[in-house]
């Protein structure tokens, strides 16, 4: 299994800036959750170019404005939970663990120019793009599958991980401990994963079922409509090379295992699990005694 993605992707030009696409797209699903004034505020602050599709794991294809809007939406969701559970002040630091080329990091940096923003990812192409194009308060670093980040203890206020634990199996507990280590007192963590809710959606919705069975082996062994097995807290599926996997975690697993590392505030599944492939969110903080 690879430790990191060291092979650089073939050069691709950037498609443009968020401002270039704003007038061309008016029917994005993300508009339903984003007020016009919020979009205008982000457009005024975020002047960085958008990465080419191949530098962002293919997400959103040539729908570059959707890619940008999805980052706005997720950033605003994160900050709403910071306001609810955070330290009661503006964040001084952010970490997007598995942040790729900065889909959410760009908004953390643009909207909080006083804060230090860290982006950690396996892919060297994504990291080098982020360092070349995102604001100077972003420090992007290549990580590996093995738990460990070059960050000080108790140094980060807001920690996010979008669709990371979805692909973590053997090193899950080490990474939970590592995120707990770097979380500052009063920190808030916003971590997504695939739970029973996602399992049910994958079983029920044709495109989700086909997407999963096409990328990993074994999921199609379960008949369509089968609930996630009640006797399993975690189920991992891998591709033929054993280098890519998809992991489902039960909510019971979060309360039984993740709660050893964090105080769990909320576990919620956005309605987009049915339509655009969203995942369950775990909102948590460092243990009060830490």
Residue 183: phi and psi, rounded to 5, are -70, 130
- Tell me whether residue 55 is in a domain: no
The band of 138, judged by pLDDT with boundaries at 50, 70 and 90, is: very high
The band of 122, judged by pLDDT with boundaries at 50, 70 and 90, is: very high
Average pLDDT over residues 50-58: 94
- Tell me whether residue 201 is in a domain: yes
- Tell me whether residue 226 is in a domain: yes
- Tell me whether residue 41 is in a domain: no
The band of 27, judged by pLDDT with boundaries at 50, 70 and 90, is: low
Q: Which domain holds residue 263?
A: 89-286
pLDDT at residue 111 above 60?
A: yes
CATH of the domain at 129: 3.40.50.150
- Tell me whether residue 147 is in a domain: yes
111's tokens:
């909207």
- Tell me whether residue 30 is in a domain: no
Q: In what order do the strands lie in the sheet with 280-286?
A: 138-142, 116-121, 93-97, 156-161, 183-193, 280-286, 262-268
pLDDT of residue 1: 40
- The structural domain count of the chain equals 1
Q: What is the pTM assigned to this prediction? A: 0.95
The band of 72, judged by pLDDT with boundaries at 50, 70 and 90, is: very high
pLDDT of residue 288: 81
Average pLDDT over residues 65-75: 96
- Tell me whether residue 280 is in a domain: yes
- Tell me whether residue 164 is in a domain: yes
pLDDT of residue 5: 72
State which H helix or E strand residue 241 sits in: none
Closest CA to 39 of 82, 11, 83, 70: 70
């Amino acid at each position: 299994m690879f430790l990191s993605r060291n092979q650089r992707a073939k050069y691709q030009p950037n498609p443009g800036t968020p401002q270039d696409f704003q007038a061309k797209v008016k029917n994005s699903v993300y508009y339903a959750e984003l007020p016009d004034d919020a979009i205008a505020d982000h457009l005024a602050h975020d002047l960085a170019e958008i990465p080419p599709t191949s530098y962002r794991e293919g997400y959103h294809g040539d729908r570059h404005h959707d890619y940008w809007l999805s980052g706005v939406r997720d950033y605003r969701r994160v900050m709403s939970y910071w306001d609810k559970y955070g330290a009661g002040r503006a964040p001084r630091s952010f970490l997007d663990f598995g942040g790729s080329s900065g889909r959410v990091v760009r908004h953390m940096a643009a909207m909080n120019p006083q804060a230090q923003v860290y982006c950690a990812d396996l892919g060297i192409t994504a990291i080098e793009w982020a360092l070349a194009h995102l604001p100077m308060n972003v420090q992007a670093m290549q990580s590996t599958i093995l738990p460990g980040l070059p960050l000080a203890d108790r140094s980060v206020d807001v920690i996010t991980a979008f669709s990371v634990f979805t692909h973590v199996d053997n090193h899950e507990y080490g990474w939970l401990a590592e995120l707990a280590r770097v979380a500052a007192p009063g920190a808030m963590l916003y971590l997504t994963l695939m739970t029973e809710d996602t399992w049910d959606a994958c079983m029920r919705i044709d495109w989700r079922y086909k997407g999963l069975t096409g990328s990993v082996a074994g999921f199609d062994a379960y008949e369509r409509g089968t609930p996630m097995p009640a006797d399993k807290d975690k189920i991992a599926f891998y591709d033929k090379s054993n280098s890519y996997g998809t992991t489902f975690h039960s909510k019971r697993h979060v309360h039984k295992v993740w709660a050893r590392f964090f105080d769990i505030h909320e576990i919620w599944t956005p309605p987009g699990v049915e339509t655009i492939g969203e995942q369950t969110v775990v909102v948590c903080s460092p243990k009060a005694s830490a």
